[in-house]
Amino acid sequence: MIAIGSDHAGYSLKIEILKYLDENGYKYKDLGTCDTKSVDYPDFGLAVAEAVRNGECERGIIICGTGIGISISANKVPGIRAALCTDSYMAKMSRQHNDANVLALGERVLGPGVATDIVDTWLKTEFLGGRHKNRIDKISDIERKYIK
């Protein structure tokens, strides 16, 4: 199950991504927003991050105007590794090396074709483990250092 959410500035791209998910047989949970009325991106970054964090969804996709604000927000949730990607190479590396469990996209930065290609690559690429696992563990150590 994929959790997906956007703010108003990412809403139109979210509709394109939902079309891709439907056409390719992916199950998803759309956590909003539902139109282009102005909302606050942290609310949707949090909703998707919590759905992944609590195990309800294996992965998440978040979209705002640039992808920056919503990825910063999602990355505040312990255990979330949200990767803002602007091309398929970044999407591939974010899975292979960083085990990113949330993909962030910017509607005002990407055309729908490039964005859909990023999603396709990201969903199909697996984590390589090995030396990369040690580095992911160090990210978790940073979280533990600051969680009281």
Other C-beta atoms closer than 10 Å to the C-beta of 134 total 9
Instruction: Return the number of the residue (5 or 99) whose C-beta is nearest ligand RB5.
Output: 5
Give the residue among 78, 100, 101, 79 at the shortest CA–CA distance from 147. 78
The CA-based dihedral angle spanning residues 11, 117, 100, 52, taken in that order and rounded to the nearest 10 degrees: 40
Catalytic site positions: 64, 97
Contact between 73 and ligand RB5 per CB under 6 A: no
Could you tell me the CA-to-CA distances from 39 to 4, 23, 42, 84, 135 in Å, in that order?
Answer: 16, 28, 9, 20, 35
Among 7, 21, 31, 61, binds ligand RB5 (CB under 6 A): 7
Alpha helix ranges (H) inside 24-87: 41-53, 68-74
Among 62, 64, 84, 103, binds ligand RB5 (CB under 6 A): 64
Q: Which residue is nearest to ligand RB5 (CB)?
A: 69
- Which tokens in the block code for residue 48? 């998707």
Contact between 68 and ligand RB5 per CB under 6 A: yes
Only segment of 25-33, 66-74, 91-99, 123-131 that touches ligand RB5 (CB under 6 A): 66-74
- DSSP secondary structure letter of residue 94: H
**Cβ 35 to ligand RB5, closest distance in Å?**
14
Only segment of 28-36, 44-52, 60-68, 115-123 that touches ligand RB5 (CB under 6 A): 60-68
What is the contact surface with ligand RB5 in residues (CB under 6 A)? 7, 9, 41, 64-66, 68-69
